[in-house]
Amino acid sequence: MTASEGSYIGLAQQTAKGTAMATDASFTYLLLLRSALGINNANLPLDMEVGGGAFQRNVVKAGVTTGGAIRFIPRPESIGHFLKAYFGKCTSTPGSGDDVSHLFEFMTSQFDAPYYTIRNSPGGMFGHQYQDQRLAALSFDFAARDFLRASAAFVGGIPKKVATTAWSPGDYTDEGPQFLSVLSKIEVPDGTSLKVLSGTIGMQNAIPLDQQWIIGSYSPDDFAINQRAVAMNLVVKVADDGVLYNKLALDPDAGVGGLWAADLFKEADLDISFVSNEEAGTGVDYSITFSANGESGDTSNVIWQVAPLDIIPGRQIVMNVVGTFLADPTAGADPFSVTLVNQETAYADPS
């Protein structure tokens, strides 16, 4: 029986759409919790026709896409490749030692993002290559007393069976440290800690394919990003005075005025960071920090909503909070960015 632990998956940024990456040293291979990457055939059954009998008479392949979902524990080096795939732009600043800070932001056009080549070898039995991959989703899951966990989904085209003899996953697998929730913090606003039990930060790219299938091709013409979305879901303990709950459920003044308000509570001065128990440089931890536009009130670009409290006997009262990232109303900052500190020199575009 073939063991799944013998599998390996790698990804590398392409120089352009339509040009698969072939340089082995450009790939970063991953340690995975689960993978559902593969070839997705669009099979077309022949219509039922009068006179054809009781059974379906034929099925043909009418199209193909590649990609799928993976789940993993993010490491400081390889997670940068996923962030580059989502944002497209990275500015790297060396620290005082081995540490380097990488700021991931959207490209000049927020609809733009790079293409990737993915290598996939299930159980090490054979090799597949999927080119022109774009990141459709990236999410981070966190809970008390646990590692930061992540999930990603790609969509792309052109599958190809390739030899794995030139692949060196052992040389390019990221086996670095993990991020731990016990060392991390969530402050909304900055300096005000929330008692968060668990949560998710979800980043989505809408890549509809219904207008990408063209006559004369088995795969979509492109994988264009039509919309983006970022949201945060938190399970939070309710404080005794319930001030935050009333701000989220009633109005930003916590219902003090007694009047119904259409305005939702807005706060984008956040400090949401996850830290490793190892240092990237002397006195500098490996870390990943999520940021909005940094404003409060009307100039904030994060609105917060809360669901009705679910009260259960024998349980703590908690609230489910959702923060939705909007366009930046000040036009002075990215609506969403991520800062990653590790020892990687840069996440530059391939030459």
Determine the average pLDDT of the residues in 174-184: 95
Categorize the per-residue pLDDT at 255 as very low, low, confident or very high, splitting at 50, 70 and 90.
confident
pLDDT score, position 154: 98
For 334, what's the count of Cα atoms within 13 Å in the CB-facing half-sphere?
Answer: 20
pLDDT score, position 263: 87
Categorize the per-residue pLDDT at 339 as very low, low, confident or very high, splitting at 50, 70 and 90.
very high
Categorize the per-residue pLDDT at 332 as very low, low, confident or very high, splitting at 50, 70 and 90.
confident
Q: What percent of the chain has pLDDT over 70?
A: 99
Q: Please, is 203 exposed, middle or buried when counting C-beta atoms within 10 Å of its C-beta (0-12, 13-18, 19+)?
A: buried
CB of 254 within 8 A of CB of 216?
A: no
Tens digits of residue pLDDT in 137-172: 999 999 999 999 999 999 999 999 999 999 999 999
Q: How far apart are CA 318 and CA 320, in angstroms?
A: 7
Using only C-alpha atoms, the chain has a radius of gyration, in whole angstroms, of 23
pLDDT at residue 267 above 90?
yes
pLDDT score, position 333: 83
Identity of the amino acid at 26? S
Q: How far apart are CA 69 and CA 92, in angstroms?
A: 28
pLDDT score, position 228: 97
pLDDT score, position 337: 97
Determine the average pLDDT of the residues in 257-274: 88
Within the chain, where are the H helices?
79-87, 169-172, 243-249
Residue with more model confidence, 192 or 92:
92
Determine the average pLDDT of the residues in 337-350: 96
Mean per-residue pLDDT over the chain, rounded:
94
Contacts by residues 186-193 (CB-CB < 8 Å, ≥ 24 positions apart): 186/234, 186/271, 186/272, 187/270, 187/271, 187/272, 188/267, 188/269, 188/270, 188/272, 188/304, 188/323, 189/267, 189/269, 189/270, 189/296, 190/269, 190/270, 190/271, 191/271
pLDDT score, position 6: 93
Identity of the amino acid at 300? S
Task: Classify residue 56 by its DSSP letter.
Answer: -
Determine the average pLDDT of the residues in 101-110: 96
3 state DSSP class of 81: helix
Cα dihedral across residues 76, 78, 84, 86: positive or negative = negative
Determine the average pLDDT of the residues in 88-111: 96
Residue 205: both structure tokens together: 């790219």
Cis ω on the peptide bond leading into residue 189 (within 30° of 0)?
yes
pLDDT score, position 256: 78
pLDDT score, position 351: 66
Compute how many other C-beta atoms are within 10 angstroms of the C-beta atom of residue 274.
24
CA-CA-CA-CA dihedral for 216, 219, 221, 226, to nearest 10: 140
pLDDT score, position 123: 95
pLDDT at residue 81 above 70?
yes
